[in-house]
Amino acid sequence: MNQITIERSSLKTTIDKVAAAFSRLKGIKEGLVGANDAGGIQFDEWDWEVGVGLYGFLRRALATNDRKALDELVAWYAWQIERGLPPRQINSTAPMLPLAILTEHVDRSDFRALIEDWADWLVHHLPKTEDGGFQHVVKERLNEGELWDDTLFMAGLFLARAGVICGRKDWIDEAVYQFMIHARYLCDPVTGLWYHGWTFNGRHNFANAFWARGNAWITVAIPELFELVPSLSPNDKRFLANVLKSQVRSLKRHQRDDGIFHTLVDDPTSPLETSATAGIAYGILRGIEAGILGEEDRVHADRALMAVLSRIDEEGVVQGVSDGTPMGHDLDFYRRIPNLPTPYGQALTMLLLIDVLLKGDVRS
């Protein structure tokens, strides 16, 4: 990094603490080792929070050639499949992305069969909105006719990579189409920021909220798509790169001097929010790596990184994370969301810190 330098040993210690706290917040056991049935990974629940965290673990394992960590992931997925997976919806699709990538490194026909079946379900059986968008179905509700910005990370990236792995261009095309249709209805043409959601039932963006964590999912999802699908067409890359650059230009204007972002990006009266800050920083770094963003944007990722590090306590718990956020119908709904430790706060922070450890300017 140009502006900051972090001790490698200190960063590794912090990552270990954040990962251990992630396990505790999921209500399992402290640490990442010891659950024999699950191969040492102790996340009992199959959900989007675990999916984001496992994506970070997998990226670290692959980058460091950590065979033991890969074996533990294999054991965890085998355990989950054997015990029975929860109903399929957008959020329960999130753990499928690391599984899809994992199948490129292990020979498991059962994993491959699940990937193919789940991808086919997304394309043919997940409820769709008008214009063929992925309806943001979750375990609590169907959200009929609704598009949400986090759908692209939770389900779109998996479908795209599944298409690459299985040689299904139609799946890749469908995933890219989901990015396009979500951008059409959720990306504000004036600011480049993304609204939390859109409903075809009334045709509006609910509270017109530029929710920070939702924007973070987009900042992450676009450069991830570039890496996961190397064969993206030049026109698709051009469109999505400009969407990201427009969003990041606006995000930079709303970032506080100390690096943090507010729960509502453009509302300085709304609470400060660490998980969004971590996601945006990670997305900017990945955007630079993908050649979408310029080196001049790194200073904003650096500021956000330092803000996130300052909000990790001695036990590895990330502080200042807004609680789970369903769709709000007025802006006060977002302002009233309390901050508390959450698994997804830990997960987004892990993604950021692991990327910095693996590719950043850290001292040995």
Q: Which tens digits make up the pLDDT trace of 27-74?
A: 543 333 334 444 566 678 899 989 998 998 898 889 888 999 899 999
Helices (H), the chain: 8-25, 48-64, 67-83, 96-102, 109-124, 151, 157-166, 169-186, 212-228, 234-254, 274-289, 298-309, 331-335, 343-359
Q: What is the 8-class DSSP label of residue 128?
A: B
| pTM for this predicted structure | 0.94
Q: What is the pLDDT of residues 111-149, one digit of tens each?
A: 999 999 999 999 999 999 999 999 999 998 999 999 999
Buried/exposed code over 12-31 (b: 16+ C-beta within 10 A; e: otherwise): eebbebbbbbbbbbbebeee
Q: If phi over 0 gives left and psi between -120 and 50 gives alpha, with beta otherwise, what is residue 35?
A: beta
- Per-residue pLDDT tens listing for the chain (364 residues): 445 678 888 999 999 899 888 878 865 433 333 344 445 666 788 999 899 989 988 988 898 889 998 999 999 999 999 999 999 999 999 999 999 999 999 999 999 999 999 999 999 999 999 999 999 999 989 999 999 999 999 999 999 999 999 999 999 999 999 999 999 999 999 999 999 999 999 999 999 999 999 999 999 999 999 999 999 999 999 999 999 999 999 999 999 999 999 999 999 999 999 999 999 999 999 999 999 999 999 999 999 999 999 999 999 999 999 999 999 999 999 999 999 999 999 999 999 999 999 886 665 5
Q: Look up the CATH architecture of domain 6-354.
A: Alpha/alpha barrel (1.50)
Question: What one-character-per-residue DSSP string does 10-45 give?
Answer: HHHHHHHHHHHHHHHHTTS-SSSS--GGGTT-----
CB-based contacts of 27: which residues, under 8 Å, 6+ apart? Answer: 44
C-alpha distances out from residue 63 to 69, 197, 292, Å: 11, 35, 22
